[in-house]
Amino acid sequence: SGKWKDSGLGEAYEAARKNPDIVTVIDWKPYGPSAGALASFLSTGIKQNGELVGIFATQLPPDAKPICSVLDAISAQSWSDAIAEVNNQRMLVQKATRMCLQVVKGVDVQESRIAFVLAVGDATASFRKTLKGYDSIPAPPTQAIANVLLHAWNQW
């Protein structure tokens, strides 16, 4: 209750009251008591003998706000291009798999071997482009994402 119950701090308090066992993050938005400056809050419940006895909440300082989100830097067109490229990679991997199976089964062995090598080469080139970034598709924004992509490729 009170004047600031609908503020970020009020949201943080209510969230911690409802889910006291987790840390809640309230996103950046203007906060009246800080002269309308952007503020974000973290909150969690304080328990004693398993019973909620209080709420801890803290306001993050305005300079803690990230300059930009990695995802904010990617345009709708870039997302569309990235999705199209992932679908292209999927098709290339499926083609390489099909050609490999044809070789194993003895179907058009010479042509299938050539098509297999070409499909693997195309898939590898496409994957490398994705890792480096190209045209409107940026490179993976973090090493963790790049590592996941490399792991997926190595599994294939």
CA distance 71 to 101: 39
User: Taking residues 95-118, what's their average pLDDT?
Assistant: 89
Contact status, residue 140 vs residue 131, Cβ threshold 8 Å: yes
pTM of the predicted protein model: 0.47
For the chain, what is the mean pLDDT?
Answer: 83
What end-to-end distance do the CA atoms of the chain give, in Å? Answer: 56
Element (H, E) at 97: helix 76-105
Say if residues 53 and 17 touch (Cβ distance below 8 Å).
no
Given a cut of 90, whether residue 46 has pLDDT beyond it is yes
What is the distance, to the nearest Å, from the Cα of residue 98 to the centroid of all Cα atoms in its chain?
31
pLDDT at residue 67 is higher than 70: no
Q: What Rg, from alpha-carbon coordinates, does the chain have?
A: 26
| 1 vs 32, higher pLDDT | 32
Tokens of 117: 């090598």
pLDDT digits (tens, 9 = 90+) for 114-127: 988 998 888 888 88
pLDDT of residue 127: 83
Nearest to 24 by CA among 58, 69, 52: 58
Residue 72 is predicted with a pLDDT of 62
Distance (Å, whole) CA 39 – CA 10: 12
Write the single-letter amino acid at 22: I
Structure-block tokens of residue 60 = 């993050």
